[in-house]
Structure formats: C-alpha cells, structure tokens
C-alpha cells in the first residue's frame, strides 16, 4: 500500500509541474498589467486531461492516506 502511495505522489508532483501557469508573469499580478490576466480561459485538449488526472490522483492519494491511517 505504501509503494502505491509513493507512486501516486510522484505522478501527482509531475502532473502539477506539467500544468500551465495561469499568470504568465508575476509582475503583471503586482502591477495590474494585464486586462486579460483573470479572463475566463477554457482548458482544452491536453490541459483538460492533465487537470482532470491531477484531480483524480489527488482524490486517490487522499483516500489511500485515510485508509492507511485507520488500518
């Protein structure tokens, strides 16, 4: 069970690092330099897949952690 949890955590870290950055530049956040900075952006294709897979792996990680705690 612990090996499975380690594999999921490594996959989760990799997927989080693969996700696109919503704020392209940190200076835009501070200086309010982009009018489209917080505009509605739809995830498509691989972004949507990575986002959903991250959600699923996060939930699986949480559930396995709870199960291991109560065993």
Give the pLDDT confidence of 33-62 residue by residue, as tens digits. 555 555 566 667 888 899 899 999 999 999
Domain ranges (residues) in the chain: 1-16+44-71
In 3D space, the residue among 1, 13, 2 whose CA is nearest the CA of residue 58 turns out to be: 13
3-state secondary structure of 22: coil
CB atoms within 10 A of CB 57: 19
* Band (23; pLDDT cuts 50, 70, 90): low
* Band (9; pLDDT cuts 50, 70, 90): very high
pTM summary value: 0.70
**What is the structure's pLDDT at 48?**
87
3-state secondary structure of 32: coil
Higher pLDDT, 38 or 63: 63
């Amino acid at each position: 069970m612990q090996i499975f949890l380690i594999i999921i955590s490594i996959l989760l870290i990799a997927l989080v690092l693969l996700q696109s950055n919503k704020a392209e530049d940190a200076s835009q956040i501070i200086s309010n330099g982009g009018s489209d900075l917080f505009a509605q952006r739809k995830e498509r294709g691989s972004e949507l897949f990575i986002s959903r897979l991250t959600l699923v792996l996060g939930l699986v990680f949480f559930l396995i952690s709870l199960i291991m705690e109560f065993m």
